[in-house]
């Protein structure tokens, strides 16, 4: 861990250059550019609201905000892990020519997507104002699930980036698994409407749902400590998977050159 932190500080300039490069490449061929970061979640929210409001959100005036909270966090986790997964192979030519701490590739990919996620929160703020969601002091607690999901995405991204070097089919398997995760995150439906013993267990075992639930609590004026299980479960999972990710990546990184 000491070497990890030392190298990160030593190569911090290169790290931020990789972050800027990822952002520029993402919107290089886009007419709207970074503006698409704001438009895409807004359009998705509108579509999901029109489709599901009468079925699953009837009587809830703040259903668009509810959807958008879940969609933004899930999209960051999904996009962040997918780009991290391919990051080592993507920079395979560089790995063979010059020494760079290899974990910078998945971490910079996650951070570039996190910056886009932060920018997209402007849309959430606008929709909250439009829907007249009451702003309370508990909104300040939103930074806690935002930090937790960053750590979680980095940890999962490191693990995926490691194994994708050796098992190229992991990219397709992870896409399918992300779909399963999406349906267990209650993005466009209320958990209370589906409350059974089996369903409750599924939600309790999904750390991403816990993060989304905390974020929604903060947005809608509830303390995240009202359900401390969500906080401690997601925090412990995120820290655990991050440490595992560092360990796995560190042990396997010397073999990357043989496969990329």
Please report where in the chains the tokens 């190229």 appear, as a residue: 168
Give whichever of 3-7, 46-50, 105-109 has the largest mean pLDDT: 105-109
pLDDT in tens, 150-204: 999 999 999 999 999 998 889 899 999 999 999 888 888 777 766 665 667 788 8
Per-residue pLDDT at 117 exceeds 80: yes
Q: Please, are residues 13 and 104 in contact by the beta-carbon 8 Å criterion?
A: no
Of all residues in the chain, the percent with pLDDT exceeding 90 is: 42
- Whether 257 is in a domain gets the answer no
Look at residue 200 and tell me if it is in a domain: yes
The reported pLDDT for the residue numbered 132 is: 87
Query: Alpha carbon of 67 to those of 144, 215, 236, 244: distances in Å?
Result: 20, 12, 26, 32
Query: In which element (H, E) is residue 13 found?
Result: helix 12-26
Q: What is the pLDDT of residue 195?
A: 63
Query: Cβ atoms within 10 A of the Cβ of 216, count?
Result: 21
The structure tokens listed for 35 are: 């503006």
pLDDT at 18: 87
In this prediction, residue 57 carries a pLDDT of: 52
Has residue 258 been placed in a domain?
no
Q: Is the pLDDT at 135 greater than 80, yes or no?
A: yes
Does residue 255 form part of some domain? no
> How many other CB atoms are there within 10 angstroms of residue 80's CB atom?
26
| DSSP-based three-state secondary structure for 59 | coil
Domain count, the chain: 1
For residue 58, pLDDT over 60 is answered with: no
119 and 20 Cβ atoms separated by less than 8 Å: no
Q: List the domain range (segments joined by +) for residue 187.
A: 2-250
pLDDT value, residue 160: 96
- The 3-state DSSP class for residue 199 equals helix
**pLDDT at position 1:** 62
Which range of 47-61, 137-151, 198-212, 214-228 scores highest in mean pLDDT? It is: 137-151
28 falls within a domain: yes
- In whole angstroms, give the CA distance from residue 251 to residue 211: 29
Question: What is the pLDDT at residue 56?
Answer: 58
């Amino acid at each position: 861990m000491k070497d990890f932190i030392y190298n990160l500080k030593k190569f911090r300039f290169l790290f931020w250059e990789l972050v800027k490069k990822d952002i520029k490449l993402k919107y290089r061929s886009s007419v709207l550019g970074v503006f698409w970061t704001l438009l895409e979640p807004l359009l998705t929210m509108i579509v999901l609201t029109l489709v599901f409001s009468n079925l699953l959100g009837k009587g809830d005036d703040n259903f668009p905000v509810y959807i958008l909270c879940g969609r933004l966090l899930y999209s960051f986790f999904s996009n962040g892990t997918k780009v991290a997964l391919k990051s080592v192979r993507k920079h395979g030519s560089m790995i063979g020519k010059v020494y760079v701490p290899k974990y910078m590739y998945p971490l910079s990919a996650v951070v570039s997507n996190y910056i886009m996620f932060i920018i997209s929160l402007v849309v959430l703020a606008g929709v909250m104002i439009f829907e007249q969601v009451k702003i309370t002091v508990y909104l300040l607690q939103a930074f806690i699930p935002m930090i937790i999901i960053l750590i979680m995405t980095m940890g999962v991204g490191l693990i995926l980036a490691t194994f994708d070097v050796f098992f190229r089919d992991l990219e397709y398997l992870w896409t399918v698994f992300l779909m399963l995760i999406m349906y267990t995150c209650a993005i466009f439906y209320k958990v209370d409407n589906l409350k059974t013993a089996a369903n409750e267990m599924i939600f309790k075992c999904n750390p991403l749902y816990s993060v989304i639930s905390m974020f929604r609590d903060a947005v809608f004026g509830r303390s995240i400590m009202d359900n401390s299980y969500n906080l401690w479960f997601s925090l412990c999972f995120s820290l655990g998977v991050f440490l595992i990710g560092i360990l796995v990546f560190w042990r396997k990184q010397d073999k990357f050159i043989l496969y990329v």
